[in-house]
């Protein structure tokens, strides 16, 4: 049935801030700038398949201009949308090794933004869901100066907002400021994000698992046993579980957030610290999943309590329905290499 009211993203954020008299409205403005970048990236993602048909072949488009890869386009778009609002003192992107400083002509703000502009790179050219992930912190060094590494390398528990945009059959933006997780679907005809998933709660236990099983031989023995356990038949515990793995973390975790499930990118013999990045992949997704009632760990420790040491460090990730994540932690703890 059609909803009787429309709630736009902008209004939802403002309503949220009204519940906090100390709020300055800055977070609303900042998230609204981010949603503009999301709309631009969504538009570009949707026409990606037309690139060859319209003559954008090779490295140059029909105007003789250099064609940007979609992940670089998303990176540039986010910077263009976010560097002049006066909100940030520094930014970090998966696509750039060092801190991105705010140009001198713009006001330096009190927040830090970390993002993965387009996650799921292997799916970009094959029309499978991909996503943008973002994480926001308050700076810890004095205001007015450029942001430093110290501002960027905070534990995930200090995040004040995080979210992702999944570019799938629809474009959906999901965000949290720690109080509930909310999803908004982009109406492409008039370009508004409308509330479609209010106060998302992840089921405590699921019967779905997401992992790249091609790496099985390289896993920890406890993890091998856990996956075999999920595949056994037992009606009472809803086993065997079903496997679901798209290869875009945002899409895999989005599905698990709505239906329940556990997503894993473990350490293995080829990836001693896993593959995913702590600062702009694992921390924001952990903040969202925990705010929805789920759990996220590296197998031994809560992701958001890891003290980061570098901008692009990796961590193993086990994230999703609380009981499922606890169970894989137990399997791994009980079976040492």
Binding residues for ligand AHM, rule: CB under 6 A, are: 116, 119-122, 212, 247-249, 275
Is residue 151 close enough to count as binding Mg ion by CB under 5 A?
no
Backbone φ and ψ of 320, nearest 5°: 145, -140
Residue 33 binding target from ligand AHM, Mg ion, none, CB below 5 to 8 Å by type: none
Is residue 71 close enough to count as binding Mg ion by CB under 5 A?
no
SS3 135: strand
Minimum Å gap between C-beta 132 and ligand AHM is 11
Minimum Å gap between C-beta 89 and Mg ion is 24
Is residue 83 close enough to count as binding Mg ion by CB under 5 A?
no
Cβ atoms of 40 and 30 within 8 Å: the answer is no
Report the residue number, 186 or 317, with the smaller CB distance to Mg ion.
Answer: 317
Task: Determine the Cα–Cα distance for residues 202 and 297; give it in Å rounded to an integer.
Answer: 16
- Provide the 8-state DSSP code for 213: G
Cβ atoms of 303 and 156 within 8 Å: the answer is yes
Residue 248 binding target from ligand AHM, Mg ion, none, CB below 5 to 8 Å by type: ligand AHM
Report the residue number, 116 or 290, with the smaller CB distance to ligand AHM.
Answer: 116
Minimum Å gap between C-beta 155 and ligand AHM is 22
Is residue 290 close enough to count as binding Mg ion by CB under 5 A?
no
Length of the chain, please? 337
Residue 46 binding target from ligand AHM, Mg ion, none, CB below 5 to 8 Å by type: none
Residue 269 binding target from Mg ion, ligand AHM, none, CB below 5 to 8 Å by type: none
Cβ atoms of 167 and 45 within 8 Å: the answer is yes
Report the residue number, 141 or 215, with the smaller CB distance to ligand AHM.
Answer: 215
Report the residue number, 247 or 308, with the smaller CB distance to ligand AHM.
Answer: 247
Residue 247 binding target from ligand AHM, Mg ion, none, CB below 5 to 8 Å by type: ligand AHM
- Number of C-beta neighbours around residue 204 at 10 A: 14
CA 263 to chain centre: 13
Task: Give the strand pairing for 262-265 and 181-187.
Answer: unpaired
Cα-based angle 223, 229, 230 (whole degrees, multiple of 5): 95
Among 71, 83, 95, 116, binds Mg ion (CB under 5 A): 116
Range list of H helices, 69-123: 70-82
Torsion of CA 176, 179, 181, 186, to 10 degrees: -60
Among 33, 83, 95, 119, binds Mg ion (CB under 5 A): 119
The residues of the shown chain that bind Mg ion, judged by CB under 5 A, are 116, 119
């Amino acid at each position: 049935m059609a909803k009787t009211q429309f709630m736009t993203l902008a209004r939802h954020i403002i309503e949220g801030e009204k519940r906090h008299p100390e709020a300055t409205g800055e977070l609303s403005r900042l998230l609204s700038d981010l949603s503009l970048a999301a709309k631009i990236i969504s538009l570009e993602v949707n026409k990606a398949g037309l690139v060859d048909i319209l003559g954008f072949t090779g490295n140059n488009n029909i105007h003789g201009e250099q064609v940007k890869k979609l992940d670089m386009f998303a990176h540039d778009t986010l910077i263009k949308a976010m560097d002049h609002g006066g909100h940030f003192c520094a930014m970090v992107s998966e696509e750039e090794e060092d801190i991105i400083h705010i140009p001198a002509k713009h006001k330096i703000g009190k927040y830090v933004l970390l993002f993965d502009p387009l996650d799921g790179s292997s799916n970009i050219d094959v029309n499978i869901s991909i996503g943008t992930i973002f994480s926001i912190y308050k700076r810890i060094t004095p205001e007015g100066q450029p942001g430093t590494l110290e501002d960027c390398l905070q534990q995930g528990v200090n995040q004040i907002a995080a979210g992702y945009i999944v570019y799938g059959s629809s474009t959906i933006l999901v965000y949290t400021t720690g109080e509930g997780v909310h999803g908004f679907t982009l109406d492409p005809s008039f370009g508004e994000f409308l509330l479609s998933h209010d106060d998302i709660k992840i089921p405590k236990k699921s019967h779905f698992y997401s992992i790249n099983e091609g790496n099985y031989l390289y896993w920890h023995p406890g993890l091998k046993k856990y996956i075999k356990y999920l595949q056994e038949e037992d009606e009472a515990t809803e086993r065997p579980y079903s496997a679901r793995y798209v290869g875009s973390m945002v899409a895999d975790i989005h599905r698990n957030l709505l239906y329940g499930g556990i997503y894993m990118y473990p350490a293995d013999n080829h990836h001693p610290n896993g593959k995913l990045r702590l600062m702009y992949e694992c921390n924001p997704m952990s903040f969202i999943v925990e705010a929805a009632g789920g759990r996220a760990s590296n197998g031994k420790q809560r992701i958001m309590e890891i003290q980061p040491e570098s901008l692009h460090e990796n961590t193993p990730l086990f994230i999703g329905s609380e009981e499922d994540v606890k169970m894989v932690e137990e399997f791994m703890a009980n079976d040492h290499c």
